[in-house]
Amino acid sequence: MFIVNQEKCTGCGKCIADCFPRDIKMNENGKAVIRNRTCIACGHCVAICPVNAVTCDHLDMSEVVEYNADDFDIAPKKLMNFIHFRRTIRNFKNQPLTQEQILKIIDAGRFTQTGGNLQDVSFIVVQKELDALKSLIFESLNDAAKFFIKEVEEGKRESSGYAKLWLKMYEAYQLDPVANDRLFFNAPAIIVVVADSQVNGALASSNMELMINAMGLGTMFSGFFIRASAMNPKIADFLGVPDRTKIVTCMVVGQPNVTYKRTVPRNKPDVVWM
C-alpha cells in the first residue's frame, strides 16, 4: 500500500493532480489520502510530494533518491553524441563479467517504464550454460536451414532466406567452436529479456544498452537467437521461460575488443509532418 504521512502532508494537492488512476483524494482535514483501490503503483505520488510524505510498505523505499541537477541532468548534446557513438559489438575480450556489472545493467531495464506499470519484464542471465545454449541454437538454425532449402526445392517457398549462411555457420562452428563462434562471438554472457508485452521488453532493452555503453562494455542484439527461439520451443524450455511471456531480445554482452574513433553516417529521417 501507498501511504501518506498525515503529519507531513501540507495538502498541496500535487499528488492528487498527478495521479492518473485518480486514487488519491483530500480528506476533511485537507490532507491527501491514498485509497489503494485503483492504484497502479507507479510511484508518482512518491516522486512529486514536496515534503516527502508518501511511502510504500511493500516496495524498497531505500531505492528512492532525491533529485539534484548535478547527478540527474544530462545535456542534450552530450546525450545525442552518446547515442550516435554507440556501436554493435561483435568482438569481445576473454574477460568475464561480474554479478555487480550484470545487476547494474538489469537495473536499467527494471526502472524502464512499462504500460500500466505492469513491470512485466524479467531477465535470464546465461553464463555457465552458455556453451550448451549456443550448441542448441546452432543446431536449431542448421535444422531450420535444411527445412527451408527443401521447401524451396519443392516449390513451397520462394526464398530460403539466411538458410545457406546458417549451414555455413554451423559447419564452421563444428570445426572450431571458439574461432568460429558467429553467434555470440565468444562473449562471456548473454541477457535474455522476456516480457508479456514486446513493447515493454524492447523499451527495457534499449535502456539496458545505454547502461552497457555507459559502463564501457558492449553489446549486440542477436536476431539469429530470436529466430531460433521462435522456431524451436526447446530453447525456451532450456531457459525456463514462462509460458505466458515472450522472448523479446537477446543481448550478447562483454568487454569490447575493439576501439572506435568516431560516429558513423545514417540515412536522413523519414518524417511525416501533419
One digit per residue, the tens of pLDDT, for the chain of length 274 reads: 999 999 999 999 999 999 999 999 999 999 999 999 999 999 999 999 999 999 999 999 999 999 999 999 999 999 999 999 999 999 999 999 999 999 999 999 999 999 999 999 999 999 999 999 999 999 999 999 999 999 999 999 999 899 999 999 999 999 999 999 999 999 999 999 999 999 999 999 999 999 999 999 999 999 999 999 999 999 999 999 988 899 999 999 999 999 999 999 999 999 999 9
Find cell 545493467 and name the residue: 105
Please give the distance of CA 29 from its chain centroid, rounded to a whole number: 44
Sequence-distant (6+) residues with CB within 8 A of 58 are 1
Q: Which residue has the cell 529479456?
A: 193
Cell 536522413 locates to 268
- Grid cell locating 139: 543446431
| Element at 56 (helix H, strand E) | strand 54-56
Q: From CA 2, how far away is CA 14, in angstroms rounded? A: 15
- Assess contact for 131 and 213: CB atoms under 8 A: no
Q: Are 256 and 89 in contact (CB under 8 A)?
A: yes
Task: Determine the Cα–Cα distance for residues 112 and 101; give it in Å rounded to an integer.
Answer: 18
Distance CA 36, CA 2 (A): 7
Q: CA 75 from chain center: how many Å?
A: 24
Rounded Cα gap, residues 92 and 255, in angstroms: 5
Q: Which of 75, 29, 82, 91 is nearest to 209 (CA)?
A: 82
Mention every residue, 6+ apart, whose C-beta is less than 8 A from residue 74: none
Look at residues 90, 121, 116 and name the one whose alpha carbon lies nearest to residue 202.
121
pTM of the model: 0.94
Residue type, 124: I
The number of beta carbons lying within 10 Å of the beta carbon of residue 89 is 22
**Domains within the chain, CATH numbers bracketed:** 2-63 (3.30.70.20), 81-274 (3.40.109.10)
Task: Determine contact, residues 126/133, Cβ cutoff 8 Å.
Answer: yes
The secondary structure of 171-195 as a DSSP string is HHHHH-TTTT-TTTTT-SEEEEEEE
Distance, CA of 13 to CA of 208 (rounded, Å): 35
Closest Cα partner for 169 from 213, 212, 224?
Answer: 224
